[in-house]
Structure 1
Amino acid sequence: MNKLAQFISLGMLLAGSGCHDLERSRAVDNPSVPGKTIALQVCSNCHGVNGVSVSPAFPKLAGQQKEYLINQLTDFKTHSRSDPNAKRFMWGFTHLSEAQIDELATYFSSHQTVMGEPGDPALIDQGRAIFTSGLPAKGVAACISCHGQHGEGAGQFPRLAGQHADYTLKQLRIFQRTEDRPRSEAMKAVCNNMSEQDMRAVAAYLEAFPPGEPGTANETTSN
């Protein structure tokens, strides 16, 4: 019985130690925790293990531009990005180190993105026209000029292809109506004269980037 009691005590000690290590790994204010661990054990709850979120409330991060991710994580950390969901979900990440931010950005940018399903063809056609040519009569620049022919983005300009339409629409509204997004001067100017229908159309097009379009393969974007 003594040996059994010792065995049980040892098992409980090891189990307790494992839980303690797990909780330590979830502590984003611990600079020794690798960014990948934070991605897998914290970020994955909303954004998915590989950065492909299920809910449009949370953006897809897979294949996103690394520089863009670093900028956004930095803005969350400093509370510069102050839209409601930023406050609710991301303002708690104030203790991320620069190394952890870099590791998180590297992790998600290196994963493969996944396109959405095509929706209303007429809406997608309208969105395609805005993406490629803008709305000259309204002074709205073509999305392609900053975000690339394939919607892949570049550096500080985010990847748009494959992003949830509802999330893209929400961000376009924020750019248009508020000052809650830093680094947004260019986008505020672009969105200023867009109608709700214009924004819905380009968001629908970007989510699907329909088969047959240039660059619609589910490629991996790495930096």
Structure 2
Amino acid sequence: MKKALLLSITAIYLLAQDSNVTQGEQLYTKNGCYGCHGSKAEGANSFPKLAGKSESYIIKRLHGYKNGTIHSNRADMMTPFAKALNENEIKAIAQYIHSLGKKKLFDEERYFQDYEIGTSSGS
């Protein structure tokens, strides 16, 4: 009984996480974040890579821009975007950005599992 309850709670939590990540992806696109940070938050030109950063880091930064406590060379650019976000949207974007790092790590691990060094044909 306890195991079934724990599995149910875990499943609900994972579904909620997936829902937040999906919402975060939609917000990332809708707000044009990709224009500076890249389509998968990989960074572009002189704009920083965000993919894989911790949720707490992204949340702290967005709050800093929203509240006007960050005074960097890009604060003027980020402030209007951050101010338009509510708390749930900030969390969703943070979860999405963090999840991008997990996907990249998985892809790299899979590559090395599928193509061990010295055994591939070089392609």
With the shorter chain as reference, the TM-score category is 0.5 to 0.7
1:167 correspondence with 2:63 = no
1:195 correspondence with 2:79 = no
Any idea what SS the aligned residue of 2:21 has?
A: helix
In the other structure, the counterpart of 1:48 is: none
List aligned pairs for 1:51-200, cutoff 5 A: 120-132=17-29, 134=30, 141-183=31-73, 184-200=75-91
Deviations 1:108-149 (A, max 9, x none): xxxxxxxxxxx71111110010112x2xxxxxx221111101
In the other structure, the counterpart of 2:10 is: none
What is the identity, as a one-letter code, of the residue corresponding to 1:125? T
Any idea what SS the aligned residue of 2:61 has?
A: helix
> Stretches of 4+ moved more than 6 A in 1?
none
Check whether the contact 2:52–2:101 (CA below 8 A) recurs between aligned residues. no
What is the identity, as a one-letter code, of the residue corresponding to 1:175? Y
Any idea what SS the aligned residue of 2:43 has?
A: coil
Paired with 2:40 and 2:84, the residues of 1 have a C-alpha distance of 24
TM-score (normalised: structure 1):
0.37
Paired with 2:104 and 2:69, the residues of 1 have a C-alpha distance of 35
Identical-pair percentage: 27
In the other structure, the counterpart of 1:22 is: none
Higher relative contact order (CA closer than 8 Å, sequence separation 6+): 2
> In the TM superposition, what is the alpha-carbon distance from 1:154 to its structure 2 partner?
1.9
TM-score (normalised: structure 2):
0.66
What is the identity, as a one-letter code, of the residue corresponding to 1:186? M
> In the TM superposition, what is the alpha-carbon distance from 1:174 to its structure 2 partner?
0.2
> In the TM superposition, what is the alpha-carbon distance from 1:217 to its structure 2 partner?
2.4
Any idea what SS the aligned residue of 2:104 has?
A: coil
Q: CA RMSD in A?
A: 2.0
Larger Rg: 1
In the other structure, the counterpart of 1:217 is: 104
Paired with 1:178 and 1:210, the residues of 2 have a C-alpha distance of 28
**When you count helix as a share of all residues, which structure comes out higher?**
2
Number of aligned residue pairs: 90
Tell me, which stretches of 5 or more residues in structure 1 are unaligned?
1-118, 135-140
> In the TM superposition, what is the alpha-carbon distance from 1:193 to its structure 2 partner?
1.0
